[in-house]
Amino acid sequence: MGGDGGYANWIDDQGDVVGAADLPGSQTSHGFLWTHGTMRDLPPAGGARCSSAGAINDSGVAVGDVNDCHFNSSAAMVWRHGSAIDLNTLIAPTTTHLLKALYISERGEIVGESVLANGDRHMFLLIPTAH
């Protein structure tokens, strides 16, 4: 996306690829979705400088994180049609903070890493509900 580096994290059954790539100047990076020969920017949300996409399902929904540009995650993210949503805004109020989404299933279940109020880290599983 105009910078010096990048990396891929996941490829789905249709050949879509997600990862992160540097922007011009290589001081920040954004998640990307590469599909049908075109790279699409998956920008961070919430004022974060950097993002990384870690996985994508066959429906084109990508997950990952926003971070400090040094691989320190600050919030788990989901991108639908290129729009970023902090997963913490989609769950009931809790003292657990979702840091990084690692995988999304075809049914929309998301697995990732979270941190408790006391600093302990745990894995999470989000299961979508019908509206």
- Give the tens place of pLDDT for each residue, 23-67: 999 889 999 999 999 999 999 988 889 999 999 999 999 999 999
Amino acid code (one letter) for 36: H
Q: Report pTM.
A: 0.91
Radius of gyration of the chain (CA): 14
Please report the pLDDT score of residue 26 as a whole number: 85
- From the CB of residue 80, how many other CB atoms can be counted at a distance below 10 Å? 11
Q: Which pLDDT band, with edges at 50, 70 and 90, does 119 fall under?
A: very high
Residue-level pLDDT at 50:
94
Task: Compare 114 and 3 and report the one with higher pLDDT.
Answer: 114
Q: Is 131's pLDDT higher than 70?
A: no
Nearest to 110 by CA among 68, 72, 71, 59: 59
Distance CA 60, CA 17 (A): 10
Q: What is the pLDDT of residue 81?
A: 87
pLDDT at residue 23 in the model? 92
Give the 3-state secondary structure of 40-100: EEECCCCCCCEEEEEEECCCCCEEEEEECCCCCEEEEEEEECCEEEEHHHHCCCCCCEEEE
